[in-house]
Amino acid sequence: MKTPEIDAAVRALAPQHTSTISNAAWAELADAVVSADAAAVRTARAPRRPRMLIALAASLLIVGLVGAALVSRPGQNQPQALSFTERGDKIIVRVVDFEADAARYTADFQRMGLDIKVNVVPVSPPFVGQLSSFSGRTEQDTSQFRLLAPGEACNGTLTAADPGCQDGLEVPKNYNGKSTIEFGRTAKPGEQYYHTSLSATDKGELLEGLNLDGLKVGDAVPLVKTRAVQQIGYLVETAPSSFDDRQSVPADWYVHGTQTLRQGEVSLFVGPRPS
Amino acid sequence: MVGARPRERFEELFDAHRDAVFGYLRRRMDSGDDAADVLADTFLVAWRRLDDVPDGPQTRAWLYGVARRVLANHRRGEGRRHALGEKLRLEFSQHAEPDATLPDDSAAARAFRALPEADRELLSLVAWEELDSAQIGTVLGISRNAVRIRLHRARKRFAKLHAGFSTSEVSYEDA
């Protein structure tokens, strides 16, 4: 797919709204902003539209420690891949078994009455074991979620250093949406990452710690080769946001950035001038 | 613009960009009622920081950037209900219910939904809001170069997902 085709496909997905707002209503808003300013603000949020409640068993598992989540339940011959903890009107979901397959995560959500499907996607090393993204049919499906950072809303004395309190997801108990979340796994050789760092020099990536931006290609490549890199490619911007893949470029060109999309493969963004 | 009276400058800015900012929010929110609050907050920020609002093509991008941050706060439950614009709110809730009631199952729609939020935002800033790299940089608070690099990656991920979904229609089970 070429850039114009991608943009056209995305353009066609723009939600259409046909409402027109009267000049009187616009004028009212403008007046209120400049004259009343903050004084016109009430602090209480409007109650959100009522949502259909999903019946959850009263005996929702409350997990104090990761180990507790590994207890098998009747009718289940595998330990849970996820742990679920009630916290007020929310459920905190955390990954217990990083090696579990996607079907087990999905089954765990289903047992909780949540229509959440889990996909496991190949990612670059720093994203392995992390919940990397979520999507739904509409914004309402996903706006009810919140991603939790390691250490956030942990049970008891668990901290970001504990395996049981890594990335998590906060879901309302009465979640009525249908969504898919993505979870990162180690990529196989040759497999393209679904998620990778902004730069191949970021923490955990192939070129971690190197500072290549602004160097000439001839100076940068020997540094790249000190790492476990099997293949180096070059990306040259030929039009705004449009890049050509090249196998080689002049040694006196400049490095503008780096990325890694597969194990052992690095691409250098380059151009004839410094960026 | 320098030297214009604040109220006049604000009204000029408001009239020129209100529909665009409203459109930006409506394409990213289900509820027209909530969009009215986020819109009010966005222009309240613009009014209070009028001296910071850039001129020219960056004005709209700056407003989108504010709208984006206000929307993020709103989604974290930190939004506010305004007494501002009750007429506006009424018109929003009467006419602005979301059109799409069924999910679009085309390969493009599924690929788009499967992207990380940051990729979706980048691609929609190009395709829905028709911004260039410099304007997107203003919206997201990053350099033009970073925009180009991230956009390149987002398009690559979209193309890959699209290709995957295009060849797996038969096994799709969520219809």
pLDDT 10s digits, B100-144: 444 577 888 888 988 888 899 999 999 999 999 999 999 998 888
- B35 with B82: CB under 8 angstroms? no
Per-residue pLDDT band for B16 (boundaries 50, 70, 90) equals: very high
Residue B174 lies in a domain: no
Q: Phi and psi of B14, rounded to 5°?
A: -65, -45
Side chain identity, residue A169? L
Of B50, B73, B101, which marks where a domain is finished?
A: B101
Question: Chain B contacts of A138, Cβ < 8 Å?
Answer: 30, 98, 100, 103
Nearest CA distance, A106 vs chain B (angstrom): 14
- B133 with B152: CB under 8 angstroms? no
Q: In this predicted structure, what is the pLDDT of residue B99?
A: 47
Are B148 and B75 members of one domain? no
Residue B111 lies in a domain: yes
Nearest CA distance, B140 vs chain A (angstrom): 14
Residue B136 lies in a domain: yes
Are B107 and B97 members of one domain? no
Domain boundaries, chain A: 66-186, 196-275
Are B142 and B125 members of one domain? yes
Q: In this predicted structure, what is the pLDDT of residue A143?
A: 74
Residue B77 lies in a domain: yes
Cα maximum dimension of chain A:
68
Question: Chain B contacts of A22, Cβ < 8 Å?
Answer: 87, 91
Nearest CA distance, B163 vs chain A (angstrom): 8
Question: Chain B contacts of A244, Cβ < 8 Å?
Answer: none
Transcribe A113-153 into DSSP letters: T--EEEEEEEE-GGGTTSEEEEEESSHHHHHT-EEE-TTTT
**Nearest of A101, A71, A66 to residue A85 by alpha carbon:** A66
Are B64 and B133 members of one domain? no
Domain around B50: 1-101
Does B123 contact A24 at a Cβ distance shorter than 8 Å? no
Q: In this predicted structure, what is the pLDDT of residue B24?
A: 92
Residue B113 in tokens: 């939904």
- Nearest chain B residue to A257 by CA distance is B149
Residues B85-100 have pLDDT tens digits of 566 667 766 654 444 4
Question: Chain A contacts of B95, Cβ < 8 Å?
Answer: 18-20
Residue B14 lies in a domain: yes
- Which of 114-153 (A) contact B at CB < 8 A? 117, 119, 132-133, 135-140, 143, 146
Are B85 and B127 members of one domain? no
CATH number of the domain bearing residue B16: 1.10.1740
Q: In this predicted structure, what is the pLDDT of residue A100?
A: 76
Residues A220-243 have pLDDT tens digits of 999 999 999 999 999 888 766 567
Are B39 and B117 members of one domain? no
Does B112 contact A17 at a Cβ distance shorter than 8 Å? no
ipTM, 2 decimals? 0.84
Are B129 and B81 members of one domain? no
Q: In this predicted structure, what is the pLDDT of residue A30?
A: 85
Identity of the residue in A33, A46, A132 whose CB atom sits nearest the CB atom of B81: A46
Of B101, B131, B150, which marks where a domain is finished?
A: B101
Are B38 and B77 members of one domain? yes
Tens of pLDDT, residue by residue, chain A (275 residues): 888 889 889 988 888 776 677 888 888 888 878 775 533 333 223 323 222 222 222 222 222 222 222 222 333 445 667 788 888 888 888 877 777 778 888 888 888 888 888 888 888 898 887 776 666 666 667 778 887 877 887 777 777 777 667 778 888 888 888 888 877 888 888 888 877 777 899 889 999 999 999 999 999 999 999 999 999 999 888 766 567 788 899 999 999 988 888 899 999 989 999 87
CATH number of the domain bearing residue B122: 1.10.10.10
Collect all residues with Cβ–Cβ distance below 8 Å to B63 and sequence separation of at least 6.
B13, B17, B20, B21, B42, B46, B53
* End-to-end Cα distance, chain B: 53
pLDDT beyond 90 at B49:
no
A vs B: CB pairs below 8 A: 197
Rounded Cα–Cα distance for residues A97 and A79 (Å):
9
- Percent of chain B at pLDDT above 90? 28
Are B25 and B93 members of one domain? yes
- Nearest chain A residue to B134 by CA distance is A240
Residues B140-160 have pLDDT tens digits of 988 888 898 899 989 988 988
Q: In this predicted structure, what is the pLDDT of residue A139?
A: 65
Question: Chain B contacts of A17, Cβ < 8 Å?
Answer: 23, 26-27, 32, 96, 98-99
- Average per-residue pLDDT for chain B: 79
Of B77, B101, B125, which marks where a domain is finished?
A: B101
Are B87 and B108 members of one domain? no
Q: In this predicted structure, what is the pLDDT of residue A240?
A: 63
Q: In this predicted structure, what is the pLDDT of residue B84?
A: 55
Identity of the residue in A6, A41, A194 whose CB atom sits nearest the CB atom of B83: A41
Are B19 and B80 members of one domain? yes
Question: Three-state DSSP class for B93?
Answer: helix
Are B45 and B73 members of one domain? yes
Question: Chain A contacts of B133, Cβ < 8 Å?
Answer: 240-241
Does A7 contact B152 at a Cβ distance shorter than 8 Å? no
Number of compact structural domains in chain B = 2
